[in-house]
Amino acid sequence: MLLAVDIGNTHMVIGVFTGPKLRCHWRVKTDKSSTVDELAAIFHTLFTMEGLRFNDISDTIISSVVPTMQAAWAAFATRYLETTPLVVGSDKVQTGMPVLIDNPAEIGADRLVNAVAAFARFKTALIVVDFGTAITWDCVSAAGEYLGGAIAPGLSIAMEALGSRTAKLPQVDISIPPDSAIGTNTVAAIKSGILFGYGGMVDGLIRRLREQMAPELPKAVATGGMATLIAPYTTSIDHVDPMLTLTGLQLLHERNN
């Protein structure tokens, strides 16, 4: 079995694959101070709940935007799983996707994994929108080349800033949708501003990116923890795939073995 690990700034998404099939997955808060042994304790419990043991894992692949966590996970894979992990972004991992930006070393591993996964699935020009700690837009040509994209603060950052920088505005649960764009109370107004506002921002950037990518007609694919929440407030998202990054990790492992 393959253990695929995507380490983000806020959450880690971990999946176990049997061949190309995702057997189970977890979403765990990223704790940058976690030690190797603490990771082992957490995942021993999660594995046990799914009827898995550490020695069921034969391979590991890691994508990370948190260097300290990448090191801890690599050590965990080596010590407890007895595997030599593939780390996306290292010279050992071949993605099969040309990266046409000024400095290819700058690209976040998760962004490249998403682009590879989406192109493998749709085989066309794409804009991949990842709703994580930051929201990223990643553009892929019809020839399968990574072109670049855009980055903006994510919803959680905006909500935290709104709560910490204002004296009277409350924290709001945006999983409960507003009734309309015109909020008739403070809570409804915040929900409208976040959900309709971010939906409009996503649509606006996709429109500009599509204009720049013309005459190609890229599909827009959404992923990430907030994708299913925000996509209904957009008009430009064609597909939603919350497991896109894990699928991309499994694909890259397959290509490199």
Angle in degrees, CA 122, 3, 93, rounded to 5: 60
**Residue 150 neighbours by CB distance under 10 Å:** 15
Distance between CA atoms of residues 207 and 197, nearest Å: 15
Instruction: Tokens 């507003």: give the residue.
Output: 178
**Residue 141 neighbours by CB distance under 10 Å:** 17
Would you call 110 a catalytic residue per the annotation? Answer: yes
Backbone angles phi, psi at 138, to 5 degrees: -120, 130
Catalytic-role residue among 6, 59, 110, 241: 110
Closest Cα partner for 206 from 108, 129, 120, 116? 129
- Which active-site residues does the annotation give? 110
